[in-house]
Structure 1
C-alpha cells in the first residue's frame, strides 16, 4: 500500500477515524490546536501534556499523526522525535513550537519531523501541513465524527505561560543569531507573588553568585511593569568573547545594556503582538553591578510590590552561560491582562 494511502479512504465509522495526538504541556496550546483542525476531517483525538505520555500514546496506536511541541517537561519534543525514529514507531509528526531558532527547525527536521509550524499556528497553515501528509478532505458520516474529546480547561497562569513561551522563543531566535549559538529554552514560570515571595524566588534562582542586573520599565494599554534581566558575573566575560568584545570597567555596563535591548525588547514585543497591546519601553537602568542578589533586593525593595512574575532562564548550549529575564507586571495590570487572555481563548 502506498505511503499515507490510509488517509485517503472515505471514513465510514468512528473506527476508521484517524488517530491524532496533540502533545503539548500547555492546555491553552492544546485547545488552540484542536480548534484549528479542519472541521471536515474526522479525527480520533488524544491529548498528552508531556513527551513521556505522548510516547506511550504513540506506541499504543493513538498517534498516527502527532502535533508535537518541543519545550515540554519530562521528555522534550526532540527526544520524542528521536525515540519515534529509533523505535520505528508509525507516526507522522508535525512540530508546532515557539522555539523558532533556525537550529531548532533543522534539528527537528533531521529527526524526522514532516513539517515545522510556528506558534501560534494559523488554521490554514495546519491544514496545508496535513494535506502534505497525503490527507484529503472527506465527507464524514455522522457516526464518524469524534465528539469524545473535550477541550481542556485553561487557567490564566497557564495561558500566560504559553504566551510567554512564544515570546521567549522569538527573543531566543534573535539572540541566537547575534551570538551564533543555540539557546536552550526552559518552560517559563508564571506566578502571582507577594513581595517576599518574589524575593525568595530571586534568591532561589541566583544562589550566592555575584550578579549584575538591568531594569527596564514598560507601559501601555492599561498594563505596566518592569523587566529585570539578571546576569551572573561569571557569564559576562564569556558573552563578551562570543561577541569579540573586549571587556573592561567601561564596556561592562554597555554590554549589559546592549543585551537587555535585544532580549527584553524582543520578548515584550512578542507578548504585545499576541495580546494586542502597544507597550512602550523606558530607558534601561543599571540596578547593580557585581553584587549579590541580597544586595540587589535591599537596594530595590521599594520597587517590587505584589506582582505577576514571569521568569525565563536562558542557557547557551556548549557554554557555561545562563541568565534570567523576569517580567514583573503590576497588580493593577492583572485585570487588564486577564481580559486580553479571555479574548484570545
Structure 2
C-alpha cells in the first residue's frame, strides 16, 4: 500500500535533500509544503501517513504546526527534521507528540533505520518519483546558502545552550547578495539600540574565505555576564570585553565547525579582534568592511528571551568564496 508522505521545510534544497534520503524503493507518494501553515492545510485536506516537519519556518513554525496537529487530533505521524539540535527543542516536540527527531543534514542510513524501527518501511522495492518544483537559479543558490548556514547555526545554538544552560531562540538566516557599500542598509534591522560592540574573526580554507562578526547590543552586557557565571558579577570594562570575546569564540567556532562538517573542509581562524565598543553600527561597518566589492552577507539573530539577551552573528563572504562552497556542496550531494 502506498504511503502518503508530506515534507515540510521552507528550503527547497532541504526538501529535495530529504526526499533523496528517503529509501529509493519505499512505496510512497511525496508532497511538499513550504511552511507550517501550508502543511496544516494539506493535512486537513487529505490524510498523510507521515509528515517530516522542520522547526524554523516563516508564517507558522514547526512548534506551532505540531501544536495544531495535536489540538485538532490530525492523523499523521510526525518526524521532526531540524538544524536546531538543542535538547529542549527535541523535548518540546516529543512532548507535543512527534514520533522522533532527526538532525540535519539527514543521513539516509539513519533515516532508513528509523523508518524500519517504527514499521514504516520493510525494504520492499517499488520505486517512486520526486515532486517537480519551479527552478530559479539565483533564488536556488541563496536557498542553498541559507540551508547550509541554518544547519551550522543550529549547531552553534546548541553549543551556546549547553554553555549557558538556556534555550536559544533561533531565527531563519537572512541571506543577502549585495555590494559591501550597501551592507549597513541590508542589516539595519539588527541595530535594536543606538550603540553596539562587535568582535571580528577571519577564517580561511582552500578556496573559501570569510569574516565573522558578533554584534552585541550594549544594554545586554549585564545579563550576559550573569549567564556566563563569572566569579565577579560586577560589570566593568574588562568583564565586558571578556564576555564579548567568550561569546564570540563559542558562537563563531561552533558555526564554523558546522560549516566544516557539511563541506568536508577545515577552516583556519585568525585571532579575534574587537572592532569597536559602544559605537554606532553603521560607522563600525563603514570603517571595517570594505575590502570586498561584492559580498554575501548572512545575518543570524540569536536571542535568549528569558534574559532579554540579543546578539547577531554576521557572516561575510566574497562572491568567489560562495561559488566555491556551492560547487563543493553540489559535489558532495552528487556523491551521496
SS at match of 1:250: helix
Residue of structure 1 in register with 2:145 after alignment: 160
Greater C-alpha radius of gyration: 1
Residue of structure 2 in register with 1:87 after alignment: 72
1:58–1:64 Cα contact (<8 Å) kept: no
Matches within 5 A, 1:287-326: 287-303=275-291, 305-326=293-314
Q: Separation in 1 of the partners of 2:91 and 2:245?
A: 31
Q: Which of residues 266, 285, 290 is equivalent to 1:278?
A: 266
CA apart distance, 1:86: 0.7
1:31–1:152 Cα contact (<8 Å) kept: no
SS at match of 1:183: coil
Residue of structure 2 in register with 1:214 after alignment: 199
* 1:109 correspondence with 2:107: no
2:3–2:28 Cα contact (<8 Å) kept: yes
Residue of structure 2 in register with 1:244 after alignment: 229
Q: Which of residues 163, 169, 172 is equivalent to 1:178?
A: 163
CA apart distance, 1:146: 4.6
Q: Separation in 2 of the partners of 1:169 and 1:333?
A: 22
SS at match of 2:13: helix
- More off after superposition, 200-209 vs 60-69: 200-209
Residue of structure 1 in register with 2:109 after alignment: 124
1:171–1:262 Cα contact (<8 Å) kept: yes
SS at match of 1:318: helix
Residue of structure 2 in register with 1:69 after alignment: 54
CA apart distance, 1:273: 1.4
Q: Which of residues 177, 185, 204 is equivalent to 1:192?
A: 177
Q: Which of residues 327, 331, 334 is equivalent to 1:343?
A: 331
CA apart distance, 1:208: 4.5
2:4–2:50 Cα contact (<8 Å) kept: yes
Residue of structure 2 in register with 1:149 after alignment: 131
Return closer, same or farther for 1:148/1:244 CA change in 2, 3 Å cut-off.
closer
May I ask how many residue pairs the two structures share in their alignment?
327
Compute the RMSD of aligned alpha carbons. Answer: 1.8
* 1:263 correspondence with 2:245: no
Q: Separation in 2 of the partners of 1:138 and 1:341?
A: 29
Q: Which of residues 201, 209, 227 is equivalent to 2:212?
A: 227
SS at match of 2:160: helix
2:5–2:29 Cα contact (<8 Å) kept: yes
CA apart distance, 1:250: 1.4
In the TM superposition, structure 1's runs of 4+ consecutive aligned residues that sit over 6 Å from their partners are none
CA apart distance, 1:68: 0.7
CA apart distance, 1:299: 2.7
CA apart distance, 1:136: 3.7
CA apart distance, 1:137: 2.3
